[in-house]
């Protein structure tokens, strides 16, 4: 009887251990998804020893999602795990390809890991410019045709790229060399806070998800506070955007990122009912008929002065916003090498963009606020 009792006890112990192992494996398999509240383009799931990032919209009308595995050195991944690229984390050396990626690195305090960038002259940030000037960030040529020889020489752990469509031959060459290329689709987000939330994407590469979430929540809180403040104004001014290029007027669609800012600033974008990708292309006469009496005109292309606009086309003078000097542009706020700060920082700091527009449309709401991007035309 003692032997039987002993054997039964052993079987019970082994059964309990096996059950715990199964539960542990199940827990690991299920993973923990990081909260993504505003962005539609990506998701992050944390497992015990690795993470999975899924990029849903790397470019408009993409036919597939991309799955990326981020794992620590020596991690054994499940044999049936399917993925497009694998990156060893935390990342020590990184190449990014858009100026919109740089503020995320700086906010996470990891800009020193940046070792290469295409078209470094467009970088506005003083911190990253100092790294470029010190030779720590190599010039990689153009984004469409990155200098692969220089890239292979610096051997980054990962290249964060973006594409307007599939079939980037340069990225394929880089991947064949053994350097993983990860697509970032922050630019496809239409919601301002959705763009900003991609800081969580970068946080995953450095094991800084908590910091990334904290930073995003701070931006979201400031954005919503400003939006609520603007909503209290009874005045809702009408707004025109864009400018002409070779007799064609280009302005943002009503469901675009830019239009969302105007709406949240409690103003009436005159083309808010339009829908589509990219910019609307209209004849001058059409814009004049609809927008001649617009209260404000923002983002008039690359223009920074009324004289420059008149030199380009005397037709601009027919708009009341021009006559009353109510045009505001972000083109004049640049880094030391000429890169527009708006194109770099605005997607990451939508709270600052919104406050700029509220200051313009409802100056009484933010009486002591100084705009970051938008300035009156000279």
Q: Which residue has the tokens 């009486």?
A: 367
Report phi then psi at 298, rounded to 5. Answer: -120, 155
How many domains, the chain?
2
Q: Residue 237 pLDDT > 90, yes or no?
A: yes
Q: How confident is the model over 48-56, as a mean pLDDT?
A: 94
Same domain, 286 and 342: yes
For residues 82 and 85, give the distance between their C-alpha atoms in angstroms, rounded to a whole number: 9
Q: Which of 9-23, 153-167, 185-199, 242-256 comes out lowest in average pLDDT?
A: 9-23
Q: Residue 167 pLDDT > 80, yes or no?
A: no
Same domain, 41 and 138: yes
SS3 66: strand
Band of the pLDDT at 18, cuts 50, 70, 90?
very low
Answer whether residue 252 is part of any domain. yes
Same domain, 126 and 41: yes
Which of 197, 219, 241 is where one domain is finished?
Answer: 219
Is the separation of the CB atoms in 73 and 86 below 8 Å? no
Query: Can you spell out the DSSP letters for 211-264?
Result: HHHHHHHHHHHHHHHHHHHHHT-S---EEEE-EEETTEEEEE-TTSHHHHHHHH
Answer whether residue 6 is part of any domain. no
**pLDDT value for 175:** 93
Same domain, 135 and 43: yes
Instruction: Give residues with Cβ within 8 angstroms of 24, minimum separation 6.
Output: none
**pLDDT value for 29:** 59
Q: Is 84 exposed, middle or buried (0-12, 13-18, 19+ CB in 10 A)?
A: middle
Asked whether the CA dihedral 296, 301, 307, 312 is positive or negative, the reply is negative
For residues 367 and 154, give the distance between their C-alpha atoms in angstroms, rounded to a whole number: 49
Answer whether residue 11 is part of any domain. no
Which of 219, 252, 287 is where one domain is finished?
Answer: 219
Percent of the chain whose pLDDT exceeds 90: 82
Q: How confident is the model over 251-273, as a mean pLDDT?
A: 96
**pLDDT value for 10:** 45
Cα distances (angstroms) measured from residue 31 to each of 84, 193, 206, 276: 19, 26, 18, 37
Asked whether the CA dihedral 239, 242, 244, 250 is positive or negative, the reply is negative
Band of the pLDDT at 7, cuts 50, 70, 90?
very low
Q: Residue 271 pLDDT > 90, yes or no?
A: yes
Helices 209-231, 350-361: axis angle to 10 degrees equals 10
Answer whether residue 292 is part of any domain. yes
Q: Residue 21 pLDDT > 70, yes or no?
A: no
Same domain, 256 and 215: no
Tokens of 118: 């295409």
Q: How confident is the model over 319-347, as a mean pLDDT?
A: 95
Band of the pLDDT at 243, cuts 50, 70, 90?
very high
For residues 143 and 128, give the distance between their C-alpha atoms in angstroms, rounded to a whole number: 18
Same domain, 236 and 214: no
Band of the pLDDT at 13, cuts 50, 70, 90?
very low
Q: How confident is the model over 62-86, as a mean pLDDT?
A: 93
Q: Which of 14-28, 124-138, 182-196, 324-338 comes out lowest in average pLDDT?
A: 14-28
Expressed as residue numbers, the domain containing 368 is: 232-376
Q: Residue 201 pLDDT > 50, yes or no?
A: yes
For residues 119 and 97, give the distance between their C-alpha atoms in angstroms, rounded to a whole number: 9
Strand ranges of the sheet holding 268-269, from the earlier edge strand across to the other edge = 268-269, 238-241, 296-298, 327-329, 375-376
Q: How confident is the model over 291-314, as a mean pLDDT?
A: 96
Which of 177, 193, 219 is where one domain is finished?
Answer: 219
Q: Which residues of 236-245 are buried (b: 16+ CB within 10 A; e: fewer)?
A: bbbbbbbbbe
Same domain, 250 and 344: yes
Is the separation of the CB atoms in 197 and 185 below 8 Å? no
**pLDDT value for 105:** 98
Instruction: Give residues with Cβ within 8 angstroms of 376, minimum separation 6.
Output: 325, 327, 328
Same domain, 187 and 46: yes
Report phi then psi at 177, rounded to 5. Answer: -80, -5
Is the separation of the CB atoms in 89 and 72 below 8 Å? yes
Tokens of 195: 């763009």
- CATH code at 316? 3.40.50.1980
Peptide bond into 174 cis (omega under 30): no
Q: How confident is the model over 297-310, as a mean pLDDT?
A: 96
Same domain, 143 and 175: yes
Beta carbons within 10 angstroms of residue 335's beta carbon: 18
Please report the beta strands in the chain, taking only residues with DSSP state E, as ranges in sequence order. Answer: 32-33, 42-46, 50-55, 66-71, 85-88, 94-96, 114-117, 138-139, 141-142, 145-146, 158-161, 181-183, 238-241, 243-245, 248-252, 268-269, 279-283, 296-298, 327-329, 375-376
Tokens of 22: 């199964």
Same domain, 145 and 262: no
172 or 8: which carries more pLDDT confidence? Answer: 172
Q: Residue 286 pLDDT > 50, yes or no?
A: yes
For residues 231 and 64, give the distance between their C-alpha atoms in angstroms, rounded to a whole number: 39
Answer whether residue 159 is part of any domain. yes
Band of the pLDDT at 54, cuts 50, 70, 90?
very high
For residues 56 and 63, give the distance between their C-alpha atoms in angstroms, rounded to a whole number: 10
Whole-number mean pLDDT of the chain? 91
Tokens of 171: 């990225």
Same domain, 238 and 277: yes
Band of the pLDDT at 142, cuts 50, 70, 90?
confident
**pLDDT value for 152:** 94
């Amino acid at each position: 009887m003692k032997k039987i009792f002993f054997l039964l006890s052993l079987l019970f112990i082994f059964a309990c251990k096996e059950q715990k192992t199964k539960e542990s494996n199940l827990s690991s398999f299920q993973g923990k998804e990081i909260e993504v509240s505003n962005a539609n383009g990506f998701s992050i799931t944390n497992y015990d020893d690795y993470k999975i990032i899924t990029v849903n919209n790397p470019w408009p009308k993409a036919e597939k999602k991309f799955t990326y595995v981020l794992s620590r050195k020596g991690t054994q991944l499940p044999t049936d795990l399917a993925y497009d690229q694998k990156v060893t984390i935390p990342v020590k050396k990184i190449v990014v390809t858009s100026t919109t990626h740089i503020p995320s690195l700086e906010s996470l305090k990891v800009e020193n890991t940046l070792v290469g960038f295409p078209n470094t002259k467009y970088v506005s940030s003083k911190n990253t410019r100092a790294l470029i000037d010190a030779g720590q960030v190599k010039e990689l040529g153009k984004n469409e045709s990155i200098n692969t020889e220089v890239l292979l020489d610096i051997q980054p752990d990962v290249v964060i790229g973006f594409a307007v469509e599939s079939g980037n031959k340069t990225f394929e060459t880089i991947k064949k060399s053994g350097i993983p290329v990860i697509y970032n689709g922050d630019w496809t987000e239409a919601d301002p806070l959705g763009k900003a939330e991609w800081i969580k994407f970068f946080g995953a590469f450095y094991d800084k998800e908590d910091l990334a979430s904290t930073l995003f929540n701070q931006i979201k809180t400031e954005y919503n506070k400003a939006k609520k403040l603007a909503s209290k104004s009874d005045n809702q001014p009408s707004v025109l955007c864009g400018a002409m290029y070779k007799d064609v007027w280009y302005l943002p669609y009503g469901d675009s990122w830019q239009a969302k800012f105007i709406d949240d600033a409690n103003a009436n974008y005159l083309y808010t009912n339009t829908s589509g990708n990219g910019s609307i292309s209209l004849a001058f006469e059409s814009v004049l008929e609809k927008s001649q009496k617009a209260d404000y005109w923002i983002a008039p292309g690359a223009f920074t002065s009324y004289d420059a606009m008149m030199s380009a086309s005397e037709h601009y003078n027919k708009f009341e916003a021009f006559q009353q000097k109510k045009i505001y542009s972000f083109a004049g706020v640049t880094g030391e090498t000429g890169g527009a700060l708006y194109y770099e920082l605005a997607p990451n700091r939508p709270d600052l963009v919104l406050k700029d527009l509220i200051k313009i449309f409802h100056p009484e709401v933010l009486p002591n606020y100084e705009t970051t991007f938008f300035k009156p035309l000279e």
